[in-house]
Amino acid sequence: MVRSTLLRITVTFLLALFSITSQANLITNGSFEDIDVPNNSWRFYSQGTPNLAWQGSNVEIWDSLFGFEASEGEQYAELNAHPNQGIFSINQTFNTITGGIYNLSFDYSARRNNRNEQFEVSAGDFTQILSSNVRFNWNDFATEFTALNNSTTLTFTSLNRGTLGNLLDNVVVTTSRLPIPEPDLIFPLILLIAFALFRYQYHRARKSHRFNR
């Protein structure tokens, strides 16, 4: 009984200390499939469109346009959306735990050859500029970032003008490792474990005392 209580407390403590990994995608409509665009065509949507989930500039969604297939599902986005708005930037905000480490992955492709299509991606403590020069050729990208807040915004910003370029698909954020508890949580947990150990020793001593009588 005491032994199982002790085990339960220890397991709870260890679970709190180490990662609780979750594979659920924290991004909604990360594959750009939630609004159906007819096969071999494109449409653009402004923020606030039901099921779009992305904020910022318009989101242009393609379905197998020019015979180029999605890297995941049937549809993908072109960051340089229609119509020309100067700077193209889309973002999505999701709940995180400050100090938690998260996996970010997505696929990107140039729309044209040798045009140095470029965009910046940022989330938490992470920022990087990516470029591609090969038309209709998916590149896989994956990294980790640390959440700086209890919500994090993932942002893709095109560094090219004009409405052509920077195809995106399969945007996924998952929890990798959660932070260890704050010091003010660790101390009560250690006290709890010490108390359980003390009780265990006490009961053992009493039992052996009874037997030796």
Q: Is the peptide bond before 83 cis (omega within 30 degrees of 0)?
A: yes
**Which residue among 26, 27, 31, 90 contacts Ca ion (CB under 5 A)?**
31
User: What is the largest distance, in Å, between two alpha-carbon atoms of the chain?
Assistant: 92
C-beta of 147 vs 167, nearer to Ca ion: 167
Residues forming beta bridges with residue 174, ordered by sequence position: 103
Instruction: Report how many residues bind Ca ion under the rule CB under 5 A.
Output: 16
Tell me the per-residue interface mask from 67 to 86 with Ca ion, x by CB under 5 A, - otherwise.
---x-xxxxx-x-x-x----
Asked if 107 touches Ca ion (CB under 5 A), the answer is: no
Contacts 24+ apart (CB under 8 A), 183-192: 185/16, 189/13, 189/16, 192/9, 192/13
Rounded to an integer, what distance in angstroms lies between the CA atom of residue 61 and that of residue 35?
9
**Which residue among 3, 36, 41, 140 contacts Ca ion (CB under 5 A)?**
36
Minimum distance between the CB of residue 133 and Ca ion, rounded to whole angstroms? 18
Helix then strand count (H, E) for the chain reads: 2, 11
Residue 7, helix vs strand vs coil: helix
C-beta of 123 vs 171, nearer to Ca ion: 171
Asked if 163 touches Ca ion (CB under 5 A), the answer is: yes
List residues binding Ca ion (CB under 5 A): 31, 36-37, 60, 63, 70, 72-76, 78, 80, 82, 163, 169
